[in-house]
Structure 1
Amino acid sequence: MTEISKPDSVRSDDYSAEARAASKVTIIGMILDAVLGVIKVIAGAIFHSQALLVDGIHSFSDVASDLVVLGVMRLSRQAPDEEHPYGHQRIETLGTLILGSILIAVGAALAWENTLRLMQGEADIIPAWPVLAAAALSVVGKEWIYHYTRRVGLEIRSDLIIANAWHSRTDAFSSVVVLISTLGAMAGMIWLDVLAAIVIAAIIIHIGWKFTWDSVKELVDTSISAEDTEMLKTIARNTDGVRNIHELRSRKMGQDILLDVHLVVRPDISVSEGHQIGVQVASGMREALDNIRDINFHIDAENDEEMPPTSEELPSRSGIQRILERHLGRYPANTRLRLHYLENKVHLELFLEAGADTVSETQLEKALADYPWFGSVRVWVSNP
């Protein structure tokens, strides 16, 4: 099994740059969230808009999530170490899970409170026009920070930053709902304001559930998509020297992909050629998906999914040499022995120099015929 990974120095520099970019965009978003939260809560309370008040609480939940993001990104973007050779990206996954859980809890509480208000008929005051101005300001600000944060998240391949971007966009969506409901309330449908608060809470719950479920799937090592898996298998099959690929396992760690690949090659090639074929397969896969971090490839001489498992009782090289010496009484000088372990049998090739003591294939077949592990033997003699 051979592992092909990105160089540690490159990965360490990448982690530092990504952490800085993530911290910068998160701090900017946190400041914007705090300012908008204060404006919306005050405006909602003074100008009688329950929807805007809930929207303001949503903005303060963004501030809380931003604090979670800052702490998690600092930890998850550390370079791999001896205790964590694959890195710390699972901390980011855990952070996304926590963020999603916070959203679900906040959304559920707000939905429950405003459902009770709607059922009890507490909506009886028409919101004032400053509510429209506060909601419009929130839409513009949150839509801008959404695009900025999402762009950074894609650049540094961070699900957590992308999740935080969508958290910001839910604030923009909810502010649009506030605008519509306020206009409706001003037109006489006062109950629209409370209904809008419930809709906003439902949006928050939906986004939180998506983040939570995606994080759970990653923590239990869910594989990449079937389409990407088949694409990688096709790349392997089309690589010169590969006869088949009979196993490809994948899992994600943050945005990084880890692969285990079993490649079937001709049984008579050298170890170094088999390794080079694996390197070419790994290179092709990385060109197709640039977020593949580690590829473990195993070179097989046969498809061991279709064959019985190779027996541990098959003799080793030194054991076979001792058997040859015992039966032949001598081991030809300067003999090179090549062994092929195929179909739970051992197939031998002996390479003899011209002029040395020779052994015929018939002699060897007769000597080894009673051994259950014996498959075949070939004797090659070099030209003088």
Structure 2
Amino acid sequence: MQQPDSPAQRNRETLAVEMKAASRVTIIGMVLDAFLGIIKVIGGTLFHSQALLVDGIHSFTDVVSDLVVLGVMKLSRQEPDDNHPYGHQRIETFGTLVLGSILIAVGAAVAWENTLRLIEGDINNVPEWPVLVAAAISVVSKEWIFRYTRHIGQAIRSDLIIANAWHSRTDAFSSVVVLISTAGAMLGFLWLDVLAAVAIAVIITHIGWKFTWDSVQELVDTGLSPDDTEMLKTIARDTDGVLNVHELRSRRMGHDILLDIHLVVRPEISVSEGHQIGMQVVIGMRKALENIRDINFHIDAEKDEDHFPETESLPSRAEVGRIIAEQLGEIPQRSRLRLHYLRNKLHLEIFLDEQDPGTIFTSENVRSHLDGYPWFGSVRIWVAGP
């Protein structure tokens, strides 16, 4: 019988498929960007269109961004290791930051140069009709590659691929601007060509700023929106066995979400029941948000931060056993002791396998011997039936 694949094996296979898809769409886009960049730079130079020339520079920035994407995707899709137990998705975030910075730099430089030309009035040449053809080819091609790249990015849950798709669409938008400005310049409004170059540069800068700002927010561990946070808290509170949620922290790593949550449950339940309640919360949250990668839940019998300062003074199980043995004698064999640390007090439950008349392990006797200890809260004695 064939053994089912382990989670690690499935994860490796998924990473391989995602990497292959990301590489394929990026290489296709890079070849297209290089082709369009050559056409537009040559066309803008030969047929007197500053807007088309700037649009060609924009296409070449797409080639650079595609190279960045290929390198970053290879690194970010590596499996988790000892030094990076949560994976390498932050490399993807950093790559998006670099891509955004490149766009800002290119857009700002081009906008400044053409703004000076517009102010100085250094506009003499009329664009020719091949500029319209080159711009039209660019619009159709870049809209197609945008839709294809975005589809792949959403399928493999990669913010970097999606960002690169939108970079491609800005090229399509800028080519539309070239079409309009060229038509206007050919009708006699020569300044429209230079103004369009400035507008394209502003578009490039705006998209770059958005990528950069989003990446910075992720790198500083910005959490989920208040609405999503409250939704997840409601899911947890509505889970059977959860009394309250007193802390929920979130952060993003690439497209994935990492959560830490503290769940308040009844103090008398077992460890295994508390864990089961936590797992039910995990299931509910994953149904609500599919891109949750990891949920670390902490089971609390109370809001522990309200009583943290004094918890160091509470004795451990070994210390309690030693004190009971000194004060009352050893707890009978096959009996057991359960400890409840609540409100900076220690509450005891002693489960006796059997009890003979006159035993010293009664609630009154235990209380009288332990009442002098500042950590003592209460005691309950349970005796097994015949």
- TM-score, normalised via structure 2 length: 0.96
Following superposition, the deviation at residue 227 of structure 1 comes to 1.3
1:32 alignment partner AA: L
Q: Distance in 1 between matches of 2:41 and 2:222?
A: 41
| Residue in structure 2 matched with residue 275 of structure 1 by the alignment | 275
Give the 5 Å matches for 1:81-96: 81-96=81-96
Give the 5 Å matches for 1:253-268: 253-268=253-268
Higher relative contact order (CA 8 A, sep 6+): 1
Q: Distance in 2 between matches of 1:308 and 1:255?
A: 35
The answer as to whether partners of 1:352 and 1:382 remain within 8 angstroms in 2 is: yes
Deviates more, 1:28-37 or 1:297-306: 297-306
| Residue in structure 1 matched with residue 381 of structure 2 by the alignment | 379
| Residue in structure 2 matched with residue 332 of structure 1 by the alignment | 332
Secondary structure of 2:266 counterpart: coil
Secondary structure of 2:19 counterpart: helix
Following superposition, the deviation at residue 84 of structure 1 comes to 1.2
Give the 5 Å matches for 1:224-243: 224-243=224-243
Following superposition, the deviation at residue 342 of structure 1 comes to 0.2
The answer as to whether partners of 2:135 and 2:175 remain within 8 angstroms in 1 is: yes
2:272 alignment partner AA: S
| Residue in structure 1 matched with residue 190 of structure 2 by the alignment | 190
Q: Distance in 1 between matches of 2:224 and 2:342?
A: 32
Secondary structure of 1:171 counterpart: helix
| Residue in structure 2 matched with residue 63 of structure 1 by the alignment | 63
Structure 2 gap ranges (5+): 1-5
Secondary structure of 1:295 counterpart: strand
Name the CA shift for 1:310/1:302 in 2 (closer, same or farther; >3 Å): farther
Q: Distance in 1 between matches of 2:80 and 2:330?
A: 54
Give the 5 Å matches for 1:1-384: 7-356=7-356, 357=359, 359-384=361-386
CA deviations on 1:182-241 (whole Å, 9 max, x unpaired) are: 111111110000000000000000000000010011111110111111111111111111
Q: Distance in 2 between matches of 1:320 and 1:180?
A: 84
Following superposition, the deviation at residue 310 of structure 1 comes to 5.0
Following superposition, the deviation at residue 308 of structure 1 comes to 4.5
Q: Distance in 2 between matches of 1:246 and 1:18?
A: 37
1:75 alignment partner AA: L
Q: Distance in 2 between matches of 1:310 and 1:58?
A: 62
CA deviations on 1:40-72 (whole Å, 9 max, x unpaired) are: 111111110000000001001100110010010
Secondary structure of 2:311 counterpart: coil
Secondary structure of 1:31 counterpart: helix
Name the CA shift for 1:15/1:88 in 2 (closer, same or farther; >3 Å): same
The answer as to whether partners of 1:251 and 1:257 remain within 8 angstroms in 2 is: yes
Q: Percent identity?
A: 70
| Runs ≥4 residues deviating over 6 A | none
1:365 alignment partner AA: R
Deviates more, 1:83-92 or 1:328-337: 328-337
Following superposition, the deviation at residue 333 of structure 1 comes to 3.3
- TM-score, normalised via structure 1 length: 0.96
2:296 alignment partner AA: N
The answer as to whether partners of 2:355 and 2:383 remain within 8 angstroms in 1 is: no
2:64 alignment partner AA: A
Q: Distance in 2 between matches of 1:289 and 1:216?
A: 23
1:383 alignment partner AA: G
